[in-house]
Structure 1
Amino acid sequence: MQTFLVTGGMGFIGSNFVLKACKEQWASIINLDKLTYASNYQTLAELEQHPDYTFVRGDICDLELLKDLLEQYKPDAIVNFAAESHVDRSILHPHAFIETNILGTFRLLEASRAYWEKLLGQKRDSFRFLQVSTDEVYGSLNPTDPAFRENTPYAPNSPYAASKAGADHLVRAYYHTYGLPTLTTNCSNNYGPRQFPEKLIPLMILNALNSKPLPIYGDGQNIRDWLYVEDHCDALYQVLQHGRIGETYNIGGNNEQTNLAVVNQICTVLDQLAPKANFQHAELITFVKDRLGHDRRYAIDNSKIQRELGWEPRESFNSGLLKTIQWYLNHTDWVEQVQSGAYQAWIEQNYGDRNSSTAV
């Protein structure tokens, strides 16, 4: 079995990837995560005794820790999910995004290059560095523009998108300059279980369940291409196994929806699964002032990954949304932990006096 070093594996997409990798025996997983506000250790509690899973609390900006982990576990691939990812937070506090997304990726690349250059034979030939990125690096589309392709010029419009674009450029440079066998994926908006409730879909689900306002930016006509997270994880594994070195693969869900349409669909499903006695959930919809630099439309052209690797999404938006809402209804304990901040108190209690390389 291969070994993957997964960075940011306690976050939304990373945790879903780790769970799927362990359950489907893709690889032994070394999960390196800083455990910031959007990470929840309890998300992967079911893997604590799994023989092919190891957790290490640490920061990808810690170069010595990275070198130690690579030397100790000798992974066959590195999958870099570690990133600050919320656009609104990047507008208010851009420094953290530059630190983690650019400097952290640089240090991860440096450690990977030093490790890879010492490998021999098949181990060296099969090694891969996968950069998991976003469609936001491409900027914004007009309603009639063609969807983003892998050769679409980068035009980021937020500090978050710019930091991810910078990281992608570094990954490309390490392939072309040093020959490091890199792969890059740019995905559309993910949704599904275990997503931190500052993002649109879980925020709307939880607000609606608590009869709170459902705030929608501007006129609600901003369009996103929605990708179910497990479909994304399957695509990433296909890219790792069969992608061409140095290439970029766009991953989308073929589900363009306006924000308003998404929220209305959430309300319709909740009216069926968790009805309120006196009103319908859509009555909670409230329009608020638009955020700064709000891109109007994203859309992904999936043709390259479909043609080369045979991947396409399995979930429709309706089926994926139903699974997502049902997960939040069935995991109120997880939601309560996240909303109360109790998991952060647990992290501090459990890790406060330990060094960054503590493994569980």
Structure 2
Amino acid sequence: MPEFGFVTEYTVGHVTFERLLREAAAADPTVAASWFAMTYPPRGLVERRLPGLRSNWSLRASFRARRLLAMHRRPWDALLFHTQTASLFSRDVMRRVPTVISLDATPVNLDEVAVGYDHAVGGRRVEAAKRAVVAGALRSAAGLVAWSEWVRASLIDDYGVDPAVIRLIPAGTSVPAAPPVREARERPRVLFVGGNFARKGGETLLRAVDGLDVDVHIVTQSQVAPRAGVTVHNDVRPGSAVLHELYADCDLFVLPTAADASPHVVLEAMAVGLPVVSTRVGAIPEMVADGETGLLTAPNDTDAVRAAIERLLDPALRARLGRAGHARAAERFDAARNARGVLDVMADVSRAR
């Protein structure tokens, strides 16, 4: 029985990916799995007191992963790092154990949307040094799983990775056999799901719906001032029954995000037949087929978001785009199939050794 080790970045949208990967591994009786979840807050005296570790997530995650792998060293047949953030100090481990790195965005990808993430881009020399460190970790891996073509292109063009070691496997979600049946309402219900209300375009949404005959449901961890026609849900957790009920009970999904990679909530909306309004950032254009499964706008364009929502006040158009979104999710973004694909890549690199 092969034994696989999983070092996972357990933050924001990666929490859902880790859960889906665990489910796939648990469903395979031929795989034994060890899990090391990298939670964001500093842990222990060293992480809390050393300025470099306390303030830098990449250094903190890589330091912690290196320590855990050394403490729990086992005869793994393969390792997986998700994402490259935790892999920087483990190149020697990757030389001993065939390793796969899975990633939703490279650092250069994130630099493209730096403003939205409040992410500082350093000077040319600093960025060149950072790129060299990341490239060293990426090239030490026996295989790479890119969530999107956006990521795959950056791996090749920005980090010099051999295209032959890259597998394109998108993130996945649970896709029901058929989406819920939705009856036409006089006031359609708009759903927004985003932990970071500002970055995910929440204010753009509120401006866009001002004066429209819709009800808005907002799922977020941020505090949002109450207003007529808007219901804010601050206590809804990812994957919860309440969240599933909101997806089923709303009529369209709007995420006018200013900066993103591959937001899992877009896949969840498509899976239950909700037409999606979102933006052309990150890998979203690879997820949402503009005009077929949803409508895409430029980020921070309130007028365009409003126009897209107004178009989707038509029940027939919502139904058509929703059906197409469900079909696209089933074809490309099925969680069980895509997570199984990641395990297959780990098995492949193990056998190749």
TM-score range, shorter chain: 0.3 to 0.5
Q: Give me the TM-score of the superposition, normalised by structure 1.
A: 0.36
Q: Which has the larger radius of gyration?
A: 2
Higher relative contact order (CA closer than 8 Å, sequence separation 6+)? 1
